[in-house]
Structure 1
Amino acid sequence: MPFAAVGSSLKITADETQALKSLPVAAQITAKKAIQGSVADLGRLVDFISMLNSSRYCCLAPIFHATLSSIQVPNYINPKTIPTIMRAKWALVGLVKISTVTPSTYDDMDDPVTKYLVRRWDDAYPWMRFFARNCLPPPYDVSVSPPRPDLCNVFDAAKLCITPLSLICTKSEEGRHLLRSSVSVQHYVAQLWILIGNLKGDVLQGDPGTTSEGLISMLRASFALTNHVCVSESEDPNKIILPLSNYIQAAGGVKPVVFTLLRYIRRITRDAAAVEAPRSWTPSDRSVNQLHLYTDASCREQLIRQGSIRTVVGAITEILPKILVQASKEMDFHPQLGLAGRQNVLWSGYSYIASAIRDAEDGVTAACQAIDAGVLQILEKGVVCPPHADRRDHPTRGRMGDIELLFLLATFFMYHRVVESIFRHWIRMQSAPMQKREIRDKGLGVALELVLTSTIDAMDHRSVEPINFHEYRCSGPGCPMCTSEFVSKKRRCSGCLVSIYCSEKCQRAAWRNGHKRWCQVLRCTVGPWGSRDIRTSLQVIAGFENSEISGMAKDVETRVREAQQQFPAFRDRLVLMLDMSVYPPEVHVLPVHKLEQFPGNDPIWPEIADEIRQRSESPPKGYMFSVVKVNLGKPKVTLFSPSTALRMAFEGQYFSDDEISVDEDEIDDSKTPGHEDLDHGSESLDDG
């Protein structure tokens, strides 16, 4: 059937016109009328596109492209612009449908999405923004009804605005770079992301063939991937991508991004948990993975503060039974839906929890949130799943999988607040009904046993009497007063941040009695920033320090000999470092000047080392003293030995039966370094 070029509304090439002759006669007639400007026939043309013979209908794409090229986006909606809007709607729907149903072929250089959408982005994108602005509810108020449902209902508008982005993210590398590099596109995606995250079921009514709740679940899952791609790194390191801050600003700031992201996690988890059989459950959703992308300084702490770790732990708890259920041998070894594939979803959640703890400025708070949310209980349930990582035909564990998360948590068991969370964990375990489980994942089972043993050790170290004596008793020599009995404001030494005094008299007496020598040592025991978490945890850290060094006695001797051979000029200036920022802890022996974040060149250390040797019942052999490296999250701090510092600095007050009494008349009122004037040399105790 011939197509007359004269009088046509649209301009298509002779080759494109010739290609239309391969269509059925009814489709050719409809195409001719669509080219001549019939809006109704343009809509009917879309109905011809189907999965059957999908490649045959690719010849309709030039009509849709020509339609979009021939019209401009109107500034207003009125009776004159409605036909133009409807033509754009059907043309965009047609391109999306062709890109969806047309498979990629090996002899085709460009995939359909790149050819029909990305390469004609300048024609399609303005109309996508138009329908988003005029036919979708506002991003921050989804209760507002769309202004023109007669032009395009919310269901069709969502497909027009979101489906092209989802297709680009999954099928076009060129398109993915477009999303990452365009300010306008990122602004558009950010606003849509907020909108979809707030959509409720009653917004999408009248969806043909799909329930509104099902459509919303599909939109959330697909757009989570779009968001992930939009702000992730490019496949090509040479291609420039926009900073994450640009996307956050476009979405309205940190708080909307954080709240919407956590809402995505909760709602997608609910949808996944509602699936009855694992066969229909897909692990392709990347909503948890998105959390990795929001770990820059602007969002990381806010996410943790708003409960992101708790949210992810809750999500894992909810979907864990679905993931670990075993269906059949054929199903369990399926490359995408099998047990190994589903385990990767768990590991993505574990990976976020680990990265949040590891990269946080306050990793102690993050670790407490994870334990309080029940991450140890989840990992105990995970041992029932066979370890497919041991098989050659399955992928290895994630970079931060379950075992890695366990070992990271164990590096925080030395902190007072974390031990309190551990106490609550064991109380919950005692009240929960006992369930005997078969341990199929032997590797996870062994790691879990080691870490749970460390939790018990932490509680034991925390329970040693007197508990944190330096926090609850006046450090004045011979003073029996507890902090709860202080009448006046409590005084904390501003030099060491450890000693507490009930009065100016006790503070001056302590300085004269030996605190002058040990003040700087105690300051090095709480770290360069004087972390409160370290200060209140010195007893637990000291307990781990003693037990670990004793347990590795042979390894310590070996390390000392190696260091003496490696550093012969510093044989008498070696220091033992217990690295508890890793699990299991490691020991190293090195010259004092090589210590990080520690005043090793200060002349006080040889003098202190000599006193340690004289006053210790079993003086260390081969090294001056020990230090401890601890993990605070992103920062890692090297501390002077808490065990040594507490024992030496408070020996007269707390470790001897003969308490020292000081005559008030003998107190030297001269000003001393670090304790000059008590109004300036001490701090009021507002957190003790």
Structure 2
Amino acid sequence: MIPATQLSQLPQDVRKLVRRVYMDRSVADFEKLCNRLPDCSASELCILQPVLYMYLDPDRIPAKSTPAVATDIELVYKSLLVIVTTLGYIDGSGIGSAGSEKQYLISAWNRVAPWLIFFHDQFIMCRANYRPVDKMVAIRIVASLLLHVVMVSGKRGGTTLLTTPALYRPIAELWLLALKTKDKYVVCLSSSPGPAHITSFRVFGSLVVSSCIQDESFVTILLEVSGGIDAVTSAALKYVKSLRSMAKTPDIASDNFKLELLVLVFSHCVKIIATTSTLDAAIREAYLLRQSVKEIFGALRVLQSLFLGKESMAQALAPSFTYLDFLLKCADDPASALHQALCAHAFETMVHISPSGPLEESKLVETDPRRINEAFFRTLFKYSLDDKILSYVCKHVDAWSNNLGPIVREEKYLLDIWSGVEQTIRTYATLRSKAETIWWPSPSKMGRVLQCRCDGTAEDIRFRQCAGCQVVRYCSKRCQRDSWHNHHRLSCNFLKAAVGSSTPQRMKRSLRLLAGLEVGHIQRKWDNILRLFAAARCEYPKDRERLVLELSLDKNDESVRPLRDYIFLFNGLSENEVVDRISSSWPDSRGQLHGLFLCSVITIHDRYRSRQILFSPRIALDMEIVPQTFSRDSQDV
């Protein structure tokens, strides 16, 4: 009830309408009052707030929509509609303000929420045969009120009222429905004085879900409603894809308020994808194959083109990099995740996102653009050993260096890190070029160095690979059999040891690159290697003829130890068998080790970020290729 002192402040015609509304449940009288509200002042609307909520009695909610309860439904419908219309009109300060109409919505939420659930169930999901309220109108009412509660309660610092379990199913169903509805702009929001803004239903869906996603019971309902974790992840990825087109529409691109909402949508959807990928390895791999990283960083690039504020872009970058970092640590093919990010201009995007404040030691990598750039540069350095990544960065390193953003140029430590990475990329590119054109040229037009060198190399041949090393490819069974008896029986185990077990696909692509780096390392550090050799002969007098040179490519370090420390690399071969095979099939024709060492090994970090020892790619390539070349030259003679 409105106190008499406040009621007296209203215009006479409004007072009469209020008294008639209080006297009976007349739809006509309430409609007349609603029609009069646009002409009321802000102070008058404040006084009228109790009247707008008087019909929202949870005890009068019917079990089902029928003609018998049409009056109650009509009164509630008009009440909710006028509440949505007046939100933001009174004080003109927008969502999150201390306006009385918003305070009244929060205080009366226990009366509003049950009716929203009823409207959703009966009219939005169409579970009633008698539907006096249009579906899209019901969507607008329910979605607008839910989103207002999210924004208002969030800015007040309290727990959102949407964490009521009874609302979880409607929220989950609305989130999925938002992707299917043709009407994109249905949610009524006010961000400035004047008429309320209309924003995207898809924006609403993601924001509301994000406020509940941490609750396990909500996740259970979301999985049930959507049909499983795959459907949830798929919906989040669809949101990310649609966001790219939404951001380019003039209606949104010209409205800072809506752009800020898009950033929130993007961040929450990426978090959903990351969360489901963490929970399910199959989802993680499936969505990596569906180019999830490329879609995410592509959307981030679009957001950056809209000239959002520093804080907004930093907020969008944080979950994107967190998801990428997770895939680099856990995915079966982390190089593919990084390649997707690079193809979506992740480097260009990151170096041009400025921090919103001073660097704080307490900030995590995931939350500060400077630390994210540092981590990304170090990731580039690590994955430059991957042939696919190196091929991409070599094409773009000049453009990157010429267009570094202020975040890198203004932070000396970042600029120093990038300079080191740039130098490494250029060095690797030079060594790979020598390996591919001079030391181990390919007989194949497609660049496959470990492919049979017989005459049967037509483009339509389906090459088969050796089942043992899974590296060398042959055009026929006959070619494979001849190669085995000729030389491959000796080199097979060593090729397998050169590609390793943790990252075989990556190593197969990068074998010549690693071999080139090995050659460069030996040439660069030969003086120190000689000192280590002299010390090792004294330390291991019984193993003087079986010393192995270990090169740490990722640490630019080297050591010398006896062969027995590396025998685990050779798939069950004894120490004597390893010595015999290396001596008979690899005479060090290039003279790299000058007869001082039996062989060499290299160490890198695998996809699990642990130290991995590999047999020398240089020696393995020589063992496979040099005998073929010698045999072919003999036949030519």
TM over 0.5: yes
Deviation at 1:538, TM superposition (A): 1.2
Deviation at 1:255, TM superposition (A): 7.8
Change (3 A) 1:198 1:85: same
Name the counterpart of 2:540: none
Deviation at 1:126, TM superposition (A): 2.9
Structure 2, gaps ≥5 residues long: 89-94, 538-542
Name the counterpart of 1:189: 171
Question: Matches of 2:234 and 2:570 in 1, distance apart?
Answer: 47
Deviation at 1:192, TM superposition (A): 1.6
Map 1:447-462 onto structure 2 (within 5 A): 447-462=417-432
Change (3 A) 1:311 1:368: same
On the 8 A contact 1:364/1:633 being kept in 2, the answer is no
1:37-93 per-residue CA deviation (whole Å, 9 max, x = no partner) reads 3446667489699986999888679x54x7332322453454x43322123335556
Change (3 A) 1:423 1:560: same
1:363 aligns to 2:334 (yes or no): yes
On the 8 A contact 2:498/2:614 being kept in 1, the answer is yes
Question: Matches of 1:347 and 1:231 in 2, distance apart?
Answer: 18
On the 8 A contact 2:321/2:372 being kept in 1, the answer is yes
Name the counterpart of 1:493: 466
1:404 aligns to 2:375 (yes or no): yes
On the 8 A contact 2:149/2:160 being kept in 1, the answer is no
Deviation at 1:496, TM superposition (A): 0.9
1:81 aligns to 2:69 (yes or no): yes
1:71 aligns to 2:53 (yes or no): no
Q: Identity of counterpart residues, as a percentage?
A: 15
Map 1:199-598 onto structure 2 (within 5 A): 204=186, 215-217=198-200, 219-232=201-214, 242=220, 245-246=223-224, 248-249=226-227, 253=231, 257=235, 260-270=238-248, 275=253, 282=260, 285-295=264-274, 296=277, 297=281, 299-323=283-307, 339=310, 342-379=313-350, 381=352, 385=354, 388-390=357-359, 397=368, 401-422=372-393, 425=396, 429=399, 439-463=409-433, 464-465=436-437, 466-468=440-442, 472=448, 481=454, 484-485=457-458, 490-502=463-475, 507-528=480-501, 531-547=504-520, 576=550, 578=552
Change (3 A) 1:266 1:386: closer
On the 8 A contact 1:224/1:286 being kept in 2, the answer is yes
1:37 aligns to 2:25 (yes or no): yes
On the 8 A contact 2:516/2:618 being kept in 1, the answer is yes
TM-score normalized with structure 2 length: 0.69
Q: What SS does structure 2 have at the residue aligned with 1:230?
A: coil
1:646 aligns to 2:611 (yes or no): no
Question: Matches of 1:135 and 1:267 in 2, distance apart?
Answer: 33
Q: What SS does structure 2 have at the residue aligned with 1:650?
A: helix
The amino acid of 1:33's aligned partner reads V
Q: What SS does structure 1 have at the residue aligned with 2:266?
A: coil
On the 8 A contact 2:168/2:218 being kept in 1, the answer is no
The amino acid of 1:536's aligned partner reads R
Name the counterpart of 1:677: none
Deviation at 1:456, TM superposition (A): 3.3
Q: What SS does structure 1 have at the residue aligned with 2:468?
A: coil
The amino acid of 2:593's aligned partner reads S
Deviation at 1:646, TM superposition (A): 1.9
1:342-389 per-residue CA deviation (whole Å, 9 max, x = no partner) reads 43434444444444555433333333322233333434555xx57954
1:294-346 per-residue CA deviation (whole Å, 9 max, x = no partner) reads 1324544454444433333333333435548xxxxxxxxxxxx5x35643434
Structure 1, gaps ≥5 residues long: 1-16, 106-110, 137-145, 325-336, 565-569, 663-688
Larger helix proportion, structure 1 or 2? 2
Question: Matches of 1:530 and 1:225 in 2, distance apart?
Answer: 39
Deviation at 1:170, TM superposition (A): 6.2
Question: Matches of 1:262 and 1:112 in 2, distance apart?
Answer: 35
Deviation at 1:494, TM superposition (A): 1.3
On the 8 A contact 1:578/1:629 being kept in 2, the answer is yes
Change (3 A) 1:277 1:123: closer
Name the counterpart of 1:127: 119
Deviation at 1:22, TM superposition (A): 6.6
Map 1:45-194 onto structure 2 (within 5 A): 64=54, 67-73=56-62, 75-76=64-65, 78=67, 80-90=68-78, 92=80, 103=98, 116-117=108-109, 121-122=113-114, 124-133=116-125, 148-149=133-134, 152=137, 155-160=140-145, 162-164=147-149, 175=160, 178=163, 182=165, 185-194=167-176
Deviation at 1:659, TM superposition (A): 5.2
Q: What SS does structure 1 have at the residue aligned with 2:347?
A: helix
CA RMSD of aligned residues (A): 6.0
Change (3 A) 1:437 1:492: closer
Deviation at 1:495, TM superposition (A): 0.8
On the 8 A contact 2:207/2:268 being kept in 1, the answer is no
On the 8 A contact 2:355/2:369 being kept in 1, the answer is no
Change (3 A) 1:619 1:212: farther
Change (3 A) 1:42 1:350: farther
Question: Matches of 1:228 and 1:592 in 2, distance apart?
Answer: 57
TM-score normalized with structure 1 length: 0.65
Change (3 A) 1:526 1:352: same
